[in-house]
Amino acid sequence: MKLPLSKFVWFDGKYILVEKAQVPITTHAIHYGTSIFEGIRAYWNEKNLFVFRLNEHVKRFRHSGQFYNISLNFTDKQIIEAITGICRKNKIKKSCYIRPFYFVGDYGINLHVTEKAPTHVAIFTFPFGDLFDKNGITAGVVSWRKFSDQSTPPQAKMGGNYLNSIIATQEAKRSGFDEAILLDHYGNVSEAPGENIFIVRDGKIITPSISSSALEGITRDSIIRIGRDLDIEVEERKIVRSELTISDEIFLTGTAAEIIPIISIDGKKIANGKPGDITKKMIQEYKDIVMNKNEEYSHWLTMVH
């Protein structure tokens, strides 16, 4: 799928035309997945463009590389300015997705990556709407397991890590599902290929703890905070597979996905097969926040123009 990229990208500190942003075939990241990325959304509310939780994204952006001693050779302030700047440079006045990433460059075939390895940083953006059907999707538990801290850090958003997500998605699609659900190495629910998962039981919102190899997602954190602010009990704990079937509601969260109801698991309806009340409440609350209609959360937004 070819992305409708904006005219300019940010590459190593400069705004350049997208067709000029090229790397050699000897780039280390192409061979070994030594790339770090973030997915960020910005929302246009007819008055201005607002980037959602930009500081948190940039903090995680740097931390992901630290797991592997891959250097981000720009300050957080520079990255923040580059992200808002690429939106201004392209005169974006519609909701969009922003992809910053950095990667090890021409480093031969050496696997001993150190802080001195050459790295490059790039940022591009494109208009973006709904990733999934907001009325609900189907999901299936796949045979592939989510990798754990026993093998590679789940909290690092590394390019190579997402091969696990790709193979899980392929299996789910072959089985006729919209999305996959991965279990951890102990057979407990972990997450979807690109989203965190929440279940609702008896009015309580529950999500897997990070001990189940779940990413500490920024949207995940947002929903936990919003739920508690609404006096809804929110719990982070292990979720066994059988709980999915008997849940009152299930939904996924992620920057690209936002909040998506799951209406069936493994071909079985969740409750009445429609988005539940708490899920719909979270969708509306989240929408109001990102559109700057809730002053209590305005500190989560960075104005672009």
Residue 151 CB-half CA count within 13 A: 11
Inter-residue contact 145 to 26 (CB < 8 Å): no
- Alpha helices, H only, the chain: 28-32, 54-66, 76-89, 163-174, 218-229, 241-245, 277-290
What does DSSP assign to residue 111? -
Count CB atoms within 10 A of the CB of residue 204: 14
User: Choosing from 47, 91, 157, 281, which is the catalytic residue?
Assistant: 157
Cα distance from N-terminal residue to C-terminal residue, the chain = 30
Active site residue 293: no
Based on DSSP, count helices (H) and strands (E) in the chain, helices before strands. 7, 17
Cα(26)–Cα(108) distance, rounded to whole angstroms? 7
User: In terms of residues, how long is the chain?
Assistant: 305
For residue 124, give the 3-state DSSP assignment.
strand
- Nearest Cα to 212, choosing from 232, 193, 231, 236? 236
* Torsion from C-alpha of 159, 141, 244, 210, nearest 10 degrees: -30
Task: Cite the active site residues.
Answer: 157
